[in-house]
Structure 1
């Protein structure tokens, strides 16, 4: 989240910063020296690192149909689990494909857009992130564990851009997943209504529910960062405004 207090001396509090960076306070990497930093959430980072390969796997299955479907040359071994899932959710199975239902492929294209945004965010954090406990002149020892556990910050415009992109992508993910569920509700559960309760819970509701719970959490965390930074900027403007005589 946006750090507003208790930062190391290398990253002064936003209260000491100007409302917006001047050209002289911005370095060649696009990060400002005005003290504003984005502190990525470890939980959000872990979710993105785990979910991106799953989304890529799912996208490959959808966009390579029918070759990736049961009985075709690309199905085994990569997409073997979809032989079962296609019988649980017909939108992934032969019924929707034979009906030329375009919803599956359309949502998959949006999945790829979201994935590009998340990859950009993770790349910015890895490329420009600095360990909060180290000085600006010290190079962080980066790696997977640093990404997952290390307290890190991304300063200035670079961090703000990454924050905004990750937030926007999370809103896309949540909205699209809710649309996916509502599509079933308003179609009379045409694609999943044939399942028994236990199959529906463990093979559809829980797996798909993850893409509601975690994006909602991500929106809460990143949205809170944005709101906090806006509040701090407004406070600095009020403090810096000259009093009328």
Structure 2
């Protein structure tokens, strides 16, 4: 979470030159320093999801070799032998039609994965602090600000792209998934894709709240507790 220390209720009188501005960071742990304690849920989600996303976009980039019948399909992408019949975006209909959407959304997946990896790298290099939650690390100053900004930007990208993925089906008469039985559609399409809405949205809520807190603190306003 964002925190400051010894934050005054009003700006001090006197010289307000940039060198003596109240928002000036005097040292790494001193007054007005932004800190970030990594959220255990977010870190766990990224640890689980990032390998899956890499596996997913590599499947798309390596088509048709990664598809059923392809030289590289088994054993790495064997589960797609069933999924290609659930979501035609991943199947032969999209490939044969020359659809650019699968590769385009996978390219964005690769960018988001890189940003999440940067966030985790900042977490790893954070200071080990006994009272810093389950993760046990705390970032301060510029590292904290960069980590939160990168994580927030990546999460916004993930939610936006996933919403687009759903809207394409809605406005496209469910051409890629409408052939499924309701039970199959729910468990193999709605639930898996829904996770990439739920957890990134949670990241936006947590990290976005920290950004707002930091900006309020820098502006000299009292911080409001996020509901």
Superposition TM-score tier, normalisation by shorter sequence: 0.7 to 0.9
Which among 109, 112, 115 is matched to residue 114 of structure 1? 112
Match of 2:203 in 1: 218
User: For residues 42 and 24 of structure 2, what CA distance do their matches in structure 1 show?
Assistant: 27
User: For residues 3 and 85 of structure 2, what CA distance do their matches in structure 1 show?
Assistant: 47
Match of 1:133 in 2: 130
TM-score of the aligned structures, taking structure 2 as reference length: 0.86
**Contact 1:3–1:39 at 8 Å: present in 2 too?**
no
Q: Does residue 15 in structure 1 map to residue 7 in structure 2? A: yes
Which among 75, 89, 92 is matched to residue 77 of structure 1? 75
Match of 1:154 in 2: 139
Q: How many residues align?
A: 209
User: For residues 79 and 135 of structure 2, what CA distance do their matches in structure 1 show?
Assistant: 35
Deviations 1:141-182 (A, max 9, x none): xxxxx9x93332101011101110110010000000000000
TM-score of the aligned structures, taking structure 1 as reference length: 0.80
User: Secondary structure in 2 aligned to 1:154?
Assistant: strand
Q: Any unmatched runs of 5+ in structure 1?
A: 5-12, 26-30, 135-145, 238-245
Q: How does 1:23-42 map to 2 (within 5 A)?
A: 25=27, 33-34=30-31, 35-42=33-40
Q: Does residue 206 in structure 1 map to residue 191 in structure 2? A: yes
User: Secondary structure in 2 aligned to 1:88?
Assistant: coil
**Contact 1:32–1:157 at 8 Å: present in 2 too?**
no
**Contact 2:38–2:135 at 8 Å: present in 1 too?**
no
Pairwise CA distance, 1:196? 0.5
Match of 1:197 in 2: 182
In angstroms, what is the RMSD of aligned CA positions?
A: 2.1
Structure 1 runs of 4+ with >6 Å offset: none
Q: Any unmatched runs of 5+ in structure 2?
A: 9-20, 223-227
User: For residues 129 and 29 of structure 2, what CA distance do their matches in structure 1 show?
Assistant: 16
